[in-house]
Amino acid sequence: MSTGIKDHAALSDLFNQDEARVDWHDETLWFVRAKRDKAANTLEEWEALRENASQIKDNVLSNLHDYLSEFESNAQKNGVIVHWAADAAEHNQIVHSILKAKEITRMVKSKSMLTEECHLNEYLQQNGIEVIDTDLGERIVQLAGEPPSHIVLPCIHKKKEEIGELFHEHLGTPKGASDPQLLTAAARVHLREKFLTRRAAITGVNFAVAETGEFVVCTNEGNADMGAHLSEVHIACMGIEKIIPKRANLGVFLRLLARSATGQPITTYSSHFRTPRAGQEMHLILVDNGRTQQLGRADFRNSLKCIRCGACMNTCPVYRRSGGHSYHTAIAGPIGAILAPNLDMKQYADLPFASTLCGSCTNVCPVKINIHEQLYKWRQVIVKEGYADPKKAIAMKTMEFTLSNPSVYRTAGKAGRWVMKNAPFLVNNKLNAWYKQRDMPTPPQQSFREWYKKNNNE
Amino acid sequence: MTVGLFIPCYIDQFYPNAAIATLKLLQKLGVKVSYPLQQTCCGQPMANSGFEHLTTGCNELFIDNFAEFDYIVSPSGSCVLHIKDHLHSDGQPEKAIGVRKKVYELTEFLTDILKVEKLTARFPHKVGVHQSCHGQRGLMMSQMTELVAAPFSKPLHLLNMVKDLELVELSRPDECCGFGGTFCVAEEAVSVKMGKDRVADHLNHGAQYITAADMSCLMHMEGILKRRNSQVKVLHIAEILNAEEV
């Protein structure tokens, strides 16, 4: 999903052309954040649960190799065919080869952010395979020809009237119909036919349990189950960090996941897949795609704790006012901004700067990823690697010189205040991004230092 | 007890009244305060832009100016957080650690060190309190709405001691104002929208003044208020805590 050369700031500027829509987007996501707060507050052990989850993930990240090996061998004993993919391309090829062997050209897929990250749909389409996304939100953005704008709420940027238009065009609902119940019923009929006729289904994986070799898929719509149970071939795709040591750990993660994501106590379906049913093939693809590289970055390895709940997006005051597409990557928001530079530092150099470092993301994160601290650290890495705007680098050098020399600082300060007072047009103009929608402070007669020298009575 | 007064560069240049109020308030409470004349900036504008490697000069200067004091107090949670988290020095590492440990934001210092329980200030107005993020979430000056934990707030604790001051409730008590240092110009559209929304929350609840423990957030909101010709004013919390009895 290339967005050309536009960066987060430019894409956000576009999004903000329609202020009423920004308000609507902000309030919709704030509503989800408020639901999350309410759900979290029903558990007095909430903070202890977060700490527990974070520590379980610490253990996983420190012993990833062992848990993956244990998981693989248990999954194989259960009759699952396990594949390993080093990167997105290999993952996509594995999926294609499984389908090719079965001469399957049409399939269904439930939500999987990993396949978004790997751009699987585009790849399969180029190879003549039709993919139908069965999560309602994902199906909507698929019909619109757009990527998801949120990892849990893929079409949160669309209004029901716009969805009505899409359904009228693609599913034949009456023109102008936007009643959610009517539209959902139409989607249900449309998708039911796909479930019944497609021979292969892809699902994501929320948690893979090393001690049993089973994996857990969480949905609200039951679409993962419908796809998997009606298909001859079930392919589950997961990033290698999705592993947890024991089944008992689910008692921590399942309680955190849905409360953090949508404010529900638990997802409607938490489906455990362990062995293929008679006559079915069950494949599981373990994907690295930069994860081991991130594991090797001491400052950023904790980002791999992410359970993809989306709470950091809902709470982020920037995300709510810039929209998921402004992040021009599969995983938007604060977590996306610390994951994406690992994959391509140049293309995503803008993302760690798309934040005020307010820290709300870190506070809502159910696995306690220090997201805003990592954003700060990515900024340092990106500048050092040479991906900063050269104009900014010059400005920073000038600032360094001024602020390191007290007399230069005082002269510059005085000159600046003089200019603002006597020649405000030099500051209050189009070149000053501050002034476009905000007034400058009124320059005072004297600095505090000047006042202090005259008045201090120590 | 010796206290070094750290006045952030933009307060020195644009908001001297916030600094004067801080100084006078501390003096009123019997604290011996000095303002080192060679200070400039904590280096945060560069560091938050990814240029922390250019802050050596600022770091050394800061240590030279402030290492001798028992406490360093500043009317800015954000600048204090930067010093606490990032001040370092290859040449004098121990002094850097010492400085990081003894730097306090004003309301923290009043609450935790001076243990102030009574103020003489009077401010008969409706006031909205902006919880500046770095002070709130970084220095933990107030409880955060994201956490399941008992509420507290050092700034509110102090404001409640001010006679005739009426606090207004906000719909979103701890949402960021969108200033964010260079973010305010680099991400102009979102920054302004965040500022407008924050200001609207205060206006909708009838605030006559917006206050905060960080002048940078207030500078941002003031820019938006003035552009709209609003009569609502921003005032640093020190100016309210030091308001004269009328």
Q: Is residue A116 predicted with pLDDT exceeding 60?
A: yes
The answer to whether the complex's ipTM is over 0.90 is yes
Q: Is residue B232 predicted with pLDDT exceeding 60?
A: yes
Of A74, A96, A109, A120, residue with least CA distance to A228: A109
Contact A438 B137 (CB under 8 A): no
A241 touches A291 (CB < 8 A): yes
Interface of B with A in 15-74 (CB under 8 A): 15-17, 19-20, 23, 32-35, 37-41, 43, 45-58, 61
- Burial environment of residue B136 by CB neighbours within 10 A (0 to 12, 13 to 18, 19 or more): buried
Please give the helix or strand (H or E) that residue B179 lies within, else none. none
Taking CB atoms and an 8 Å cutoff, what residues of chain A touch B17? 444
Q: Residue B234's pLDDT is what? A: 98
Phi, psi of A208 (to 5 degrees): -120, 125
Q: Give residue-wise pLDDT tens across range A51-95.
A: 999 999 999 999 999 999 999 999 999 999 999 999 999 999 999
Contact A357 B16 (CB under 8 A): no
Long-range contacts of B85-93 (CB under 8 A, 24+ apart): B85/B138, B86/B43, B86/B44, B86/B47, B86/B52, B86/B55, B87/B42, B87/B59, B87/B62, B87/B63, B88/B59, B89/B56, B89/B59, B89/B60, B89/B63, B91/B60, B92/B60, B92/B63, B92/B67
Q: Does B227 touch chain A (CB under 8 A)?
A: yes
Minimal Cβ distance to A447: which of B16, B41, B57? B16
The percentage of chain A sitting over the pLDDT mark of 70, rounded to a whole number, equals 98
Interface of A with B in 309-348 (CB under 8 A): 315, 317-318, 321-322
Interface mutation vs chain A, best among B24, B35, B142, B146, most A CBs within 10 Å: B146
CA gap A168, A189 in Å, rounded:
14
Q: How many distinct helices (H) and strands (E) make up chain B?
A: 13, 8
Minimal Cβ distance to A354: which of B187, B193, B222? B187
Q: Residue A347's pLDDT is what? A: 96
Q: Does A35 touch chain B (CB under 8 A)?
A: no
Q: Is residue A456 predicted with pLDDT exceeding 90?
A: no
In this structure, chain B runs to a length of 246
Minimal Cβ distance to A400: which of B19, B57, B190? B57
CA gap A200, A194 in Å, rounded:
10
Taking CB atoms and an 8 Å cutoff, what residues of chain B touch A393? 51
Pairing mode, if any, of strands B126-129 and B166-167?
parallel
List all residues 6 or more positions away from A130 whose beta carbon is below 8 Å from its beta carbon. Answer: A105, A106, A107, A124
Minimal Cβ distance to A358: which of B16, B133, B188? B133
**For residue B224, what is the nearest residue in chain A, using CA coordinates?**
A438
Interface mutation vs chain B, best among A396, A410, A428, most B CBs within 10 Å: A396
Q: What is the DSSP string of B54-85?
A: G-HHHHHHHHHHHTTSSEEEES-HHHHHHHHH
Q: Does B229 touch chain A (CB under 8 A)?
A: no
- Burial environment of residue A245 by CB neighbours within 10 A (0 to 12, 13 to 18, 19 or more): middle
List all residues 6 or more positions away from B97 whose beta carbon is below 8 Å from its beta carbon. Answer: none
Q: Is residue A5 predicted with pLDDT exceeding 80?
A: no
**In Å, how far is A137's CA from the nearest CA of chain B?**
26
Q: Give residue-wise pLDDT tens across range A289-328.
A: 999 999 999 999 999 999 999 999 999 999 999 999 999 9
List all residues 6 or more positions away from B11 whose beta carbon is below 8 Å from its beta carbon. Answer: A448, B18, B19, B75, B76, B215
Q: Is residue B246 predicted with pLDDT exceeding 80?
A: no
List all residues 6 or more positions away from A90 whose beta carbon is below 8 Å from its beta carbon. Answer: none
Q: Residue A82's pLDDT is what? A: 98
CA gap B190, A173 in Å, rounded:
37
Minimal Cβ distance to B176: which of A317, A438, A441? A317
Looking at residue A21, its amino acid is R
Of A342, A377, A329, residue with least CA distance to A357: A377
Long-range contacts of A194-197 (CB under 8 A, 24+ apart): A194/A108, A194/A132, A194/A134, A195/A108, A195/A134, A195/A223, A195/A226, A195/A227, A195/A230, A196/A230, A197/A106
Scan for tokens 């009838």, then name that residue. B206
Phi-psi region for residue A329, left (φ > 0), alpha (ψ -120 to 50) or beta? beta
Minimal Cβ distance to B227: which of A433, A439, A441? A439
Interface of A with B in 3-22 (CB under 8 A): 8-9, 12-13, 15-16, 19, 22
| pTM for this entry | 0.96
Q: Does B185 touch chain A (CB under 8 A)?
A: yes
Q: Give residue-wise pLDDT tens across range A196-220.
A: 999 999 999 999 999 999 999 999 9
Contact A356 B55 (CB under 8 A): no
Q: Residue A1's pLDDT is what? A: 37
State how far Cα B12 lies from the chain centre: 13
Taking CB atoms and an 8 Å cutoff, what residues of chain A touch B40? 402-406, 409
Minimal Cβ distance to A376: which of B48, B147, B178? B48
Interface of B with A in 119-148 (CB under 8 A): 133-134, 137-138, 144-148
Q: Is residue B108 predicted with pLDDT exceeding 60?
A: yes
Minimal Cβ distance to A357: which of B11, B180, B197? B180
Of B38, B44, B157, B60, residue with least CA distance to B108: B157
Q: Residue A3's pLDDT is what? A: 41
List all residues 6 or more positions away from B186 whose beta carbon is below 8 Å from its beta carbon. Answer: A9, A353, A433
Interface of A with B in 46-65 (CB under 8 A): 46-47
Taking CB atoms and an 8 Å cutoff, what residues of chain A touch B181? 356
CA gap A14, A310 in Å, rounded:
23
CA gap A122, A9 in Å, rounded:
27
Pairing mode, if any, of strands A233-239 and A207-209?
unpaired
Q: Give residue-wise pLDDT tens across range A395-426.
A: 899 999 999 999 999 999 998 888 888 888 88
B26 touches B35 (CB < 8 A): no
B211 touches B132 (CB < 8 A): no
Mean pLDDT computed over B32-60: 95
List all residues 6 or more positions away from A340 whose beta carbon is below 8 Å from its beta carbon. Answer: A327, A329, A331, A347, A348, A351
Q: Does A405 touch chain B (CB under 8 A)?
A: yes
Q: Does B189 touch chain A (CB under 8 A)?
A: yes
Contact A437 B227 (CB under 8 A): yes
CA gap A358, A217 in Å, rounded:
32
A203 touches A62 (CB < 8 A): no
Which pair of tokens denotes residue A367?
């696995």
Q: Give residue-wise pLDDT tens across range B75-95.
A: 999 999 999 999 999 999 999
Phi, psi of B126 (to 5 degrees): -90, 125
Pairing mode, if any, of strands B71-74 and B2-5?
parallel
CA gap A263, A192 in Å, rounded:
28
Contact A359 B52 (CB under 8 A): no
Contact B133 A359 (CB under 8 A): yes
State how far Cα B245 lies from the chain centre: 23
CA gap B161, B150 in Å, rounded:
21
Q: Residue A431's pLDDT is what? A: 81
Q: Does B6 touch chain A (CB under 8 A)?
A: no
Residue B106's pLDDT band, with cuts at 50, 70 and 90, is: very high
Q: Is residue B152 predicted with pLDDT exceeding 60?
A: yes
Mean predicted lDDT score pLDDT of chain B: 96
CA gap B139, A144 in Å, rounded:
45
Contact B9 A40 (CB under 8 A): no
Minimal Cβ distance to A356: which of B14, B23, B176? B176
**Domains, in order of start, for chain A:** 8-13+17-27+310-390 (no CATH), 43-134+199-292 (3.40.50.10420), 405-457 (no CATH)
CA gap A136, A192 in Å, rounded:
12
Nearest-10 crossing angle of helices A160-171, A136-144: 70
Minimal Cβ distance to B14: which of A12, A400, A444? A444
Q: Is residue A448 predicted with pLDDT exceeding 80?
A: yes
